[in-house]
């Protein structure tokens, strides 16, 4: 990310001053590190993480106890009893693994809890970013501490609708020059994106 940021800065130097948009960058790790709300959310996440980790450790400890007991008594067991105990141990071990995945998997409870706790913090930061960009007339704001990078972009530079039109994905029926009321062809009439730009912003995932 830092290499990309350096290349971006170097490329801007070569742009004529009259044509250059206004860029800025920030450090979200530095900002959130000073937010009491962020520190509180981190503390809450640690509580949930520690509690769930303890539950998983207890399940694994139970599996270990069952294995040690089985090894100590194996010589005295019948074949049927051995198979039964082995099945019980395997089932208990599988239960512990599934619970671990449920909690700490990619879309697990810990991930969901993090999103829930961080959402108000990230929304507050994003509002501040938007306000500063509008106040200081910054067109693009980057986050140097994140791989995502873009935090804010001026909708004036959003060419998505033009690309959709070029790809032939615009399903709106063509309007004749007479219906536009301007005497211009549809190509000469400004697109909705130019008349009613939509503001875009990207919230960074804090880890």
65 is a domain residue: yes
**Would the pLDDT of 111 be above 70?**
yes
Total of domains in the chain: 1
Whether 95 is covered by a domain: the verdict is yes
Q: Give the tens place of pLDDT for each residue, 141-183.
A: 888 777 666 666 777 666 667 666 766 766 554 544 443 444 4
Does the pLDDT at position 194 exceed 60? no
Residue 104: inside a domain, yes or no? yes
The answer to whether 121 touches 38, Cβ cutoff 8 Å, is yes
Identify whether 20 is part of a domain: no
Each residue's pLDDT tens digit, 68-81: 999 999 999 999 99
> 100 by DSSP, 3-state: which?
helix
109 in a domain, yes or no?
Answer: yes
Can you give the residue range of the structural domain that contains 107? 36-113
| Residue 107 placed within a domain | yes
What sign results for the dihedral spanned by CA atoms 137, 14, 197, 124?
A: negative
Res 67: pLDDT: 96
Q: What pLDDT, on the 0 to 100 scale, is given for residue 201?
A: 44
Where in the chain does DSSP place strands (E)? 23-26, 140-143, 150-153, 200-201
Give 14-64 pLDDT, tens digit per residue: 445 435 677 888 888 888 888 889 999 999 999 999 999 999 999 999 999
């Amino acid at each position: 990310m830092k290499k990309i940021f350096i290349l971006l800065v170097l490329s801007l130097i070569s742009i004529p001053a009259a044509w250059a948009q206004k860029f800025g960058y920030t450090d979200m790790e530095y900002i959130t590190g000073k937010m009491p709300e962020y520190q509180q959310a981190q503390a809450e996440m640690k509580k949930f993480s520690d509690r769930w980790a303890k539950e998983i450790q207890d399940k694994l400890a139970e599996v270990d106890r069952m294995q040690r007991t089985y090894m100590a008594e194996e010589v005295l067991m019948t074949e049927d009893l051995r198979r039964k105990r082995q099945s019980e141990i395997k089932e208990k071990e599988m239960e512990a693994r599934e619970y671990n995945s449920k909690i700490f998997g990619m879309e697990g409870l810990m991930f969901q809890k993090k999103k829930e706790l961080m959402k108000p913090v990230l929304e507050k930061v994003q509002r501040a970013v938007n306000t500063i960009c509008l106040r200081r007339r910054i067109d693009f704001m980057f986050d140097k501490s994140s791989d995502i990078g873009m935090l804010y972009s001026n909708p004036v530079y959003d060419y998505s609708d033009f690309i959709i039109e070029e790809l032939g994905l615009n399903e709106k029926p063509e309007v004749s020059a007479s219906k536009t009321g301007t005497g211009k062809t549809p190509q000469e009439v400004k697109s909705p994106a130019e008349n009613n730009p939509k503001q875009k912003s990207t919230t960074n995932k804090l880890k």
